[in-house]
Structure 1
Amino acid sequence: MRRAFLNRVSDMIRNEQDTTFFTVDIGMWAIRDVLKEFPDRCTNVGIFEDGMFSIAAGMASRGLIPTIFGIQPYLIERTLEQIKMDLAYQKLGVNVVGTGAAVDYPKYGYSHYCAEDVQIIKMIPGCEFVAPGSAKQFIQLFNQSYRDGHPTFYRISDHPNQEYDVDVTFGKANVIQKGQKATVVVVSIMLDEVMKVCKNQDVTVLYYTTLEPFDHETLSENCPTGKVLIVEPEFEGSLLYDVHKALPERALQIEQVAFPREIFRNYGTYQEKMEYYGLTASHVEAALNRLV
C-alpha cells in the first residue's frame, strides 16, 4: 500500500498544480525526484508532525489540496489539538496518510502502536476515516475522496489482504456474501481471515473500508437475526456505537474479534502479536460459533 500511495503522490504532484505533499522523514527515498523537482509543493519537514498539520491547514485555507504522510501514532496522537482546531474546526480538506497502524511496527514497541486511531478520529466531527485492505483499494478510495473538502485519514498497512481484493466505494460497505444465521462486519485487512471461516457458512459478510462516515444503511438491510460479529484490526468497540445506531430498537447479540483495550507491553513479530491478541481465523471461528 505504501508504494501505491507514494506512486500516486508523485503522479499527483506532477500533474495537478493545486496539490501539495509533506512528510516527516519517511518515504523520502521513494519520491526523491519529486522532492527535488517541486520543492515549493513537496517537502520533508522533518520530525515535526504538529507543525506539518498547521502548514497543511494553511495551504488548504488558500484552496490547495495538501496530502501529508507519517507514522500513525504520531499523526493522530501527537497532533490531536491540530486535528481538532486546524482541520475540523476550520473545515479544511487535508489528506492524512498514516502507516504503522495497530501493531504493524512490532519491533519498535508501544510508542509505534496505534490501535486507538479509529475511535480518536471518529470522535472529532467532520473527519473521515478510511481503512483500505489492499493497495488497489487505497487508490480507489483516495481517488474518490481526496478532493471532497474534509479532513480525511487513510490508514495503510504492510499486511494487506491477498485473496479477497474487491472493488470498493468510499462511504459504502461491500456485501461479500449473504446468509441467515448472523452478520459479520469485517474491517480492512481482516477480510482474508474472516473468509477462511465464513465462505462456507450461512452468514452475511459485510466488508467496511470507510469507517467514517459509516454505512449504516447496508448493515440495517443485511442483519436478519440481530446476531453480529465485528472483526476489526483496532481496539474492540471502535465500531460498536455505529452498529447499535444502524440497528435501533432491535435486540442484538454481539461478539467481537479485535485488539483488547490494554497497553501492549510484550514483544514479538506481527504474526505473533495477531495470534496473541486473537486476530486470526481460529479466533473468528470461535467467536462465530459462540454467536450461532
Structure 2
Amino acid sequence: METMRDRFAPVVSRLLDEDPRVAVVLAEIGRDGFTEAQRRHPDRVVNVGIREQLLVGAGAGLALTGLRPVLHTFASFLVERPFEQVKLDLGHQDVGAVLVSAAASFDWPAGGYTHMAPGDVALLDTLDGWTVHVPGHPDEAEALLRHAVAAGDDKVYVRLSVRSNRRSNPVDGAGFRTVREGRSGVVVAVGPVLDDVLDAVAGLDVTVLYATTVRPFDAGALRRATESAGTDVVLVEPYLAGTSTPAANDALADVPHRVLGLGVGRRELRRYGNVADHVAAHGLDARSLRERIGRFVGERERAGAGAACP
C-alpha cells in the first residue's frame, strides 16, 4: 500500500515544475526521490548531507531570498536536533518554510530511540506562529502538502506517517471535521488514529471530530460539538499524550468540562518490536481505546445515576 511518504517526492517534484518559488532542501534522507527533479532544477534542489542544523539554516537563507523552501528528513532530525535553528533562523528572522517529517513517534522502531520524536508537536508548541498538519491518509497528505506550499510565507509543519486510515476525508488545511455525532462526549481523533477511534467508539453515544490541522487548534469546532454532546472531551493524538490538552482547556475555559488526553506515553520503550507493538503498548489500539474512552465518558453517567438514587 502506498504511504504518505511515497507521495511526498512526486508531489513536491511537480510543485517544483509548477512554481519557480519552490525549493527543496534535504539532508541525505529522501534524496533518491528527487534525482530527476534535481536534474531539471539543480539550483532549487539542495542536499546538504547529514547536517541537520545546516538543513534548517540553508532553508531559512533561501526563504530570505524570496523562495518557498520545503525541508525534509526524519522528525527527530528536523524538529528536535536543529531546534535552535528552527527557533532562530526561521522564527526570529520571521521567515517561513515547510517542514515535512517522516518516522515521527515510532514509525521506524528498528531505528531505535534516536529515530523517534513523539514530542515534536509539543516542542513546536513552544514557538509562535506555526501551522501543523497531521494527515491520516496519502490523499490527505498530498492535499495538505499543496496547501502548505501555497500558504504564502507561513511556517508550516507537515507530519507524515506510515500509519494510514482506510479511506481519505476531505481536508481544508483549517478546521476539524465532524464524522460522527452523539450526546455523551466528544472525541477528537488526530490524523492516522481515526480508524482505531471509530472502531473503539462503536456503540458509544459520542461525537467524533477528525483533525488533520491541529495548529491553529479549532476551538470553535470543539465548542460547537460540546453544545450537543456535552463537555467531556477525549483527545486521541498520535504523538505525546496531552499535547493538545491546554488548547482544549482554553477553548472551554468558561464552562465546566473534563479533558482526557491520550497519545504516546513518556516512558521509553526499549524493545524495537514493530509499529503495531508500539501502538498497543501506548494504549492506542482500538481495544485499549474503547476501554479508556468508555470508562471516561461513562463516569459522568454513572455519577448521575447514583445521584438520582434515593
TM bucket (normalised to shorter chain) is over 0.9
The structural deviation recorded for 1:6 is 0.8
Deviations 1:194-236 (A, max 9, x none): 1112244321001111111111100011013211111111111
Q: Over the residues paired in the alignment, what is the CA RMSD in angstroms?
A: 1.3
Give SS of 2:54's match: helix
1:30 and 2:47 equivalent? Answer: no
Measured after TM superposition, the shift of residue 169 of structure 1 is 1.3
Report the counterpart of residue 239 of structure 1 in structure 2: 244
Unaligned runs of 5+ in 1: none
Counterpart among 162, 166, 169 of residue 169 in structure 2 = 166
Amino acid at match of 1:154: V
TM-score (norm 1): 0.96
Q: Secondary structure at the match of 2:73?
A: strand
In the alignment, structure 1 residue 105 sits paired with structure 2 residue 111: no
Matches for 1:257-268 after TM superposition, within 5 Å: 257-268=262-273
d(CA) in 1 for partners of 2:281, 2:289: 13
Residue 152 of structure 1 pairs with residue 150 of structure 2: no
Which of 183, 186, 198 aligns to 2:186? It is 183
Matches of 2:220 and 2:100, distance apart in 1: 27
Rounded to whole Å, the distance in 2 between the matches of 1:133 and 1:215 is 17
> How far did 1:30 drift?
2.1
Secondary structure of 2:106 counterpart: coil
Instruction: State the distance in 1 between where 2:233 and 2:86 align.
Output: 32
Write the distance in 2 (CA, Å) between the matches of 1:145 and 1:98: 13
Q: What is the rounded CA distance, in whole Å, between the counterparts of 1:289 and 1:12 in structure 2?
A: 44
Give the Å deviation of 1:249: 2.4
CA positional deviation for 1:77 = 0.7
SS of residue matched to 2:140: helix
Q: Does 1:118 align with 2:121?
A: yes
Asked whether the 8 Å contact 2:133–2:214 carries over to 1, the reply is: yes
Matched, 1:286 2:286: no
1:130–1:209 contact (8 Å) kept in structure 2: yes
Q: CA deviation at 1:63?
A: 1.0
Matched, 1:15 2:18: yes
Displacement of 1:15 after TM fit? 2.2
**Corresponding letter in the other structure for 1:54:** G
Contact kept, 8 Å, 1:229 with 1:287, in 2: the verdict is no
- Matched with 2:42 is 39
Q: Counterparts of 2:259 and 2:217 in 1: how far apart (Å)? A: 18
SS at match of 2:117: coil
TM-score (norm 2): 0.91
**1:165-190 Cα deviation digits (max 9, x unpaired):** 21111121011111100100111100
Match of 2:97 in 1: 94
**What residue identity is the alignment partner of 1:274?**
V
C-alpha distance in structure 1 between counterparts of 2:87 and 2:200, whole Å: 40
Cα distance in 2 between the residues matched to 1:37 and 1:118 = 34
- Higher alpha-carbon deviation: 24-33 or 110-119: 24-33
For 2:261, the aligned partner's letter is Q
Task: Give, in whole Å, the separation in 1 of the partners of 2:44 and 2:97.
Answer: 14
- 1:225 corresponds to which residue? 230
Distance 1:52 1:139 in 2: 23
1:56 counterpart residue number:
59
Percent identity, aligned pairs only?
28
Conserved? CA contact 2:244–2:261, under 8 Å: no
Task: Give the secondary structure class of the aligned counterpart of 1:222.
Answer: helix
AA in 1 matched with 2:143? Q
How far off its partner does 1:28 sit?
1.8
Paired residue for 2:308?
none
Amino acid across the alignment from 1:21: V
